[in-house]
Amino acid sequence: MVHEEPNRVMKDLDIERLLTNDLPHFYSFAFVLIPDDLQASQLVVDSISQLLISDREILLKKINDKKWMKESVGQKIFELAQKRFSQIRLGIDLVNEHKENFYKLDIEERAALFLKEVSKLQYEEIAWILNKTSGQLNAILASARYKLFDLIEIKDSSLNG
C-alpha cells in the first residue's frame, strides 16, 4: 500500500475545495461560450481535469494563488470551447435557439464581454485567459459592443417601422 505524504493530500483537498467553490462561475462562463447544458458541464469537468493532470506541479506550487487557479480554469475552458465549438457549430443553432443578441456574437466576443461585464475581471486578466494582447482584447471588446449596439438598433427599427 502506497501512502502519500500528508502535506500533499492536504494540498489536493485544498485545490478541490477552491475549485468546487467556483463551479457556478465556471459553468456560467462555459455556457456563455457553448449554450448547451451538457456541453457546458463537460467543458468545466474537462478543463479542471486537464489542469489537475497536465499542470499538476504548477498547481501544487500555486496552491495559495486562488486568482491564478481561477484564471487557469477559465483559460482552459476557453481553449476547449473554441475547439469544441468549431466541431459542433452545425449542431447548435445559436440564432434560433437563443433569441438574445448576445449569442449572435462570435465566441471570443462573448467570452470577453462576459469576463469584463459579468465577472468584472481586469483587462490584463481577460487578455491572459483569452491569450490575447491588450490591443487585441480592446479590439474584440469594441467590436462586440458595436455589434450589440447595432443589433439593438436594428431590432428597435424593425419594431417601430
| Contacts (Cβ under 8 Å, ≥6 apart) of 60 | 8, 11, 15
In the numeric block, which cell numbers belong to residue 41? Answer: 458541464
- Whether 115 and 121 have beta carbons less than 8 Å apart is answered as yes
pTM assigned to the model = 0.79
d(CA 135, CA 143): 12
Domain edges within the chain: 1-92, 94-161
Q: How far apart are the first and last CA of the chain?
A: 76
Handedness of CA 128, 132, 138, 144 (dihedral sign): negative
What per-residue confidence (pLDDT) applies to 1?
46
pLDDT tens, residue by residue, 32-54: 998 889 989 999 999 998 888 88
Tens digit of each residue's pLDDT (9 = 90 or more) over 62-83? 877 888 889 999 999 999 999 9
Q: Tell the CATH topology of 94-161.
A: Arc Repressor Mutant, subunit A (1.10.10)
pLDDT at 149 over 90: no
